[in-house]
Amino acid sequence: MKKYLLGTTALAAATGFAALAVPTSADAAERLKVGVAGYFQAYYAYVDQSKDGNGEVADDRREWDLFRESEIHFTGEVALDNGMRVGVQVELESETCGDQIDESYLYFQGNFGKVVVGSENSAAYLLSVGAPTVDSAFDGADPNYRILQPGNNRAVATQQYSPTMTGDSEKITYFSPRFEGFQLGVSYTGDNSEEASAGQIKARGGSFAGMPSDNDVGEQNDIFEFGVNFERKFNDFGILAGATYGFGNLERDAGNAFKDQQEWSAGLNVTFGGFTIGGGYYESNQGLSGNNDRTAYAAGLNYRMGPMVLGASYLHNEFEEGGGKDDVLDRYMAGVRYTFHPGMEARGSIQYYDADGNTGAERNDAFAVVTGVVVNF
């Protein structure tokens, strides 16, 4: 199966590269030019967390704070004489951090579909569907912020439920053209090292120093991720659905602690008039042996009134804990966002978190009031 899939991806890439060989008027052709885009998010929050009485988790946590997140994107695209489009995108974090360049990739797009090469999310991630959100920075399938202090609760520490097996690791991805509402995608990642832990090699990029090891403990390689997406509108009625599956191959075990990783997801949104209702489901074995499976599901409802959207959502996130009580988080959120200028939104929400686990360091609850502004440029 791997050989067949590799052949399919290679054929798609070869089709794109072969198109480059069509003669063009080189002297008159336009060079690819890069522009600037990106976003800036700024929020202010009041958070009241429970006190567990053990000097842990929330006993010494602030109630008010300001936080933000932003990126600058350098993007460019040019059309060749043969009709194919070639583009690049480089995403720069707007603060000093471990992942200074978030994503960096090159793509080729034409009648054959789209081929993406570089550090970018997988086809499974990009074609997946989650619950409707009122503020995706908090209740999205891959949120930017975590309100509740995690303690030792893994369900609090990771609230994402989109397929992120390979993150931004270097990969090659093929997307088919959309036909009758359907689009297919497949990604191949040779070595899952971009999202590695401290001490392991990160993105190969400009510091490539030879082929990576295929004998790292707990690391996955030769990872395939698939996605199928369906989108169709019928007057005021619309459907958006997605399903994904991914699997990797364990390089080396240690003490029977690891295994080949698998994850899958499914989601459905239905729109009628100003209403959108839907949900998403995610499951992963995390590449760990024993009782370490993770499951998450979410539901949401939005109502749009011109530039204003009202919404509510729910998330259940659960990590298995062998021989003990599972780490669990339930998140409830209701809010509003208002577009006051093209690309600019004011947002506000109330949020409630209920975390449970074996010990006081894993049990906590919190009530939050959040307001902010998001600017896309």
Instruction: Convert the pLDDT of each residue in 104-133 to its tens digit.
Output: 999 999 999 999 999 999 999 999 999 999
Integer Cα distance of 299 and 134 in angstroms: 12
Query: Is pLDDT above 60 for 13?
Result: no
Between residues 322 and 312, which one has the greater pLDDT?
A: 312
Give pLDDT, residue 52. Answer: 57
How many other CB atoms are there within 10 angstroms of residue 111's CB atom? 9
Contact at 8 Å (CB) between 336 and 344? no
Give pLDDT, residue 20. Answer: 52
Query: Is pLDDT above 70 for 192?
Result: yes
Q: Using pLDDT thresholds of 50, 70 and 90, give the confidence band for residue 172.
A: very high
Query: Is pLDDT above 60 for 77?
Result: yes
Q: Please, what is the Cα angle at 307 between 377 and 41, to 5 degrees? A: 35
Q: Residue 262 phi/psi, 5° resolution? A: -140, 145
Give pLDDT, residue 50. Answer: 79
220-224, 319-323, 371-375: segment of lowest average pLDDT:
319-323
22-26, 37-41, 243-247: segment of lowest average pLDDT:
22-26
27-41, 50-64, 267-281, 357-371: segment of lowest average pLDDT:
50-64
Query: Is pLDDT above 50 for 7?
Result: no
Give pLDDT, residue 11. Answer: 43
Query: What average pLDDT score do residues 2-28 get?
Result: 47
pLDDT, tens digit, for every residue of 196-245? 443 334 444 445 556 777 888 888 999 999 999 999 999 889 999 999 99
Query: Is pLDDT above 80 for 339?
Result: yes
If DSSP codes are grouped into helix, strand and coil, which group holds residue 126?
Answer: helix
Give pLDDT, residue 6. Answer: 43
Give pLDDT, residue 213. Answer: 78
Q: Using pLDDT thresholds of 50, 70 and 90, give the confidence band for residue 58.
A: low
Give pLDDT, residue 133. Answer: 98
Contacts of 131 (CB under 8 A, 6+ apart): 139, 141, 267, 269, 278, 279, 280, 298, 299, 300, 313, 314, 315
Between residues 96 and 371, which one has the greater pLDDT?
A: 371
Topology of the domain comprising 2-14+71-195+221-302+318-327: Porin (2.40.160)
Q: Which amino acid does the sequence have at 151? A: G
Between residues 52 and 288, which one has the greater pLDDT?
A: 288
Give me the residue spans of the domains in the chain: 2-14+71-195+221-302+318-327
Query: What average pLDDT score do residues 46-57 get?
Result: 68
Give pLDDT, residue 17. Answer: 47
Give pLDDT, residue 291. Answer: 87
Q: What is the mean pLDDT of the chain?
A: 87
Of 319, 332, 324, the closest CA to residue 283 belongs to 319
Give pLDDT, residue 211. Answer: 74
Give pLDDT, residue 342. Answer: 97
Query: Is pLDDT above 80 for 102?
Result: yes
Query: Is pLDDT above 70 for 53?
Result: no
Query: What average pLDDT score do residues 42-47 get?
Result: 97
Give pLDDT, residue 219. Answer: 87
